[in-house]
Amino acid sequence: MNQSHSLFSFCKLPRPFVFWLFFLLLFSSCAQIVAPSGGPPDKKPPFARKYFPDSAATHFHSKSVEIQFDEYIQLKDLNNQLVISPPMEKLPEIRVRNKSLVINFREPLKDSTTYTINMGNAIQDIHEGNAIPNFRYVFSTGGYVDSLSVSGLVRNALTLTPEKGVLVMLYKNLQDSVPYKEVPSYFGKSDDNGLYKISNVKPGTYKTFALRDANNNYKINPGEMMGFTVEFLKLHRKDTLNFSLFKEDADKQKLIKAYQAAHGKIILVFNKPIEKLKLKPLNFSIGDVQKAIVETNATGDTAIFWFTSPKTDSLILQVSDKDRIYDTLRYKLITRAKMISLNKGETPKLYVKINAGRDRLLDLNSPLRFEFGNPVLESNPDLLAKLILRKDTAKRNLFSGGKFQQTEEQRAQRFQTWTDTSGSIKENSSYHLLILPGAFKDMFGFTTDTIRIDFKTQELRYYGTLKMHLHAAKEKYVLQLLDEKDLLVREHRVEDGEEIYFDYLPPAKYRARLIYDSDGNGKWTTGNYLQHIRPERVIYYNQTMMIRSNWDQEVDWYVK
């Protein structure tokens, strides 16, 4: 009854009053109270308020450490950021407890030793992820904290680029074998710029070593990159020491992998160049096959064993180098019949790839290069004599002035070139290349199909030239021209005062690298730690050279 009375009373109110009452109710519903914005984002990293025990404490004998921060924290990427020097066999347990970081040691600490626990950028606030840069906790189990340090740069010995994540290690033991057997007395790790610093080091004499430690055991393992100094570090004040990182040539030959890639084709990959490779079938004699060829790649560490079908469907192959047997391989062979069956019953054609085509201009200084799928043993003179090379639509045969020849002898006649010896091929011109079927035959009896290629030559004014005058001491050098990706474009063996001329260079940016060829082998030679042989010195020209089309550039390089 009271409810109906209230409703009746509301309906009896004057209309203007009802209107304003409705307006006020609507306004109040829209203007609801909201929480104020949080303002600009927090960019401050956490701040360490208290240490238990204190940072830089002496006579440290605690089994744990607690560090209290002014806000809640988290740990990110601690495994990669953590560096403890000197290293511990058992890493401490490090965990977050609310606003505190707790470190529990899991092994006894050494007497009279200064420890540095560097966590890099691993400690962050929990909301914004702001990291404390290079956070460290230092303490000493002796009466004072060691204060000396050594810092420097780690670079690649060949490219001179900074090397990140490399351990730089100091050893009290001065024997050459120590990096193989012991963990270091102190160490640091290079940053993104290749810079490192080892702090809180005790005065003394140290052996120094740099290592890209792939398995995190602080010791040299085969295949790991390294750097060293021949002289000992006599540390009595803050010092600087730089390292050149290199990878040693493998000491012992090893067959890494071997597999049957196709009919009559076994590929063998070694860890270093082959010297005197010998492949001996044990279940048949070489006389049982018509042909057997061993091909090696340009670097000499990969071999291909080509052979025609024996009178068996299996192969037992003994592999040796310099009369040392490395392995005995067993394969169920891919027979000729099976290969033809996989090719829909048709005899396969000999594959060939050529360095020119509709979408690939032929460089004026380059011959036509033919890369065959299998070793080529025969070419048909009659068919090659009919090879037609026509300019545009003219039917003028230009082949009479050309020459086919095998290149890269170690690669089993799979690479041949055709060189224009009559000057018939001109710049900025279109040609049609036709090679008739059966012109080339491989060791399996497969022949090439008809080869038709339309291509165009580059115009002469597209290229630029570089003339470099090298002013250096009278030593042996290798001058290399590199592109923007540091890939080798050209190289030349030079001596002091010689003028080097690079022509037919596509317009681009180039860098020049000079190798001190101390052993005279015409290439960069790496180092050897135990023999105290450093990698050959390398320097770069201090400017990038821009080669422009139809332009000659001269450079004087004064080598100090």
Q: Which CATH architecture has domain 352-460?
A: Sandwich (2.60)
Q: For position 11, what pLDDT does the model report?
A: 43
User: How is the chain split into domains, by residue range?
Assistant: 48-140, 148-245, 255-342, 352-460, 463-558
Render pLDDT for 335-384 as a digit per residue (tens, 0 to 9).
888 888 888 888 889 999 999 888 889 998 888 888 999 999 888 877 76
Render pLDDT for 231-271 as a digit per residue (tens, 0 to 9).
999 999 999 999 999 999 988 888 999 999 999 999 999 99
Q: For position 27, what pLDDT does the model report?
A: 46
For range 102-112, the mean pLDDT: 95
Asked if the model's pLDDT at residue 81 lies above 90, the reply is: no
CA-CA distance, 424 to 412, in Å (whole number)?
30
Q: For position 138, what pLDDT does the model report?
A: 96
For range 481-485, the mean pLDDT: 95
What CATH number labels 463-558?
2.60.40.10
CATH of 255-342, one of 1.10.1660, 2.60.40, 1.10.287, 3.30.70: 2.60.40
Tokens at 98, concatenated = 């609310």
CB atoms within 10 A of CB 479: 22
Q: Which fold has domain 48-140?
A: Immunoglobulin-like (2.60.40)
CA-CA distance, 531 to 260, in Å (whole number)?
39
Q: What percent of the chain has pLDDT over 70?
A: 87
Residues near 470 by beta carbon (within 8 Å), at least 6 away in sequence: 477, 479, 494, 496, 497, 498, 500, 514, 557, 559
Return the exposure string of 183-204: e unless at least 16 CB atoms fall within 10 Å of the residue's CB, then b: bbbbbbbbbeebebbbbbbbee
The whole-model pTM stands at 0.78
Q: Check for a shared fold between 48-140 and 463-558.
A: yes
Q: Which CATH architecture has domain 148-245?
A: Sandwich (2.60)
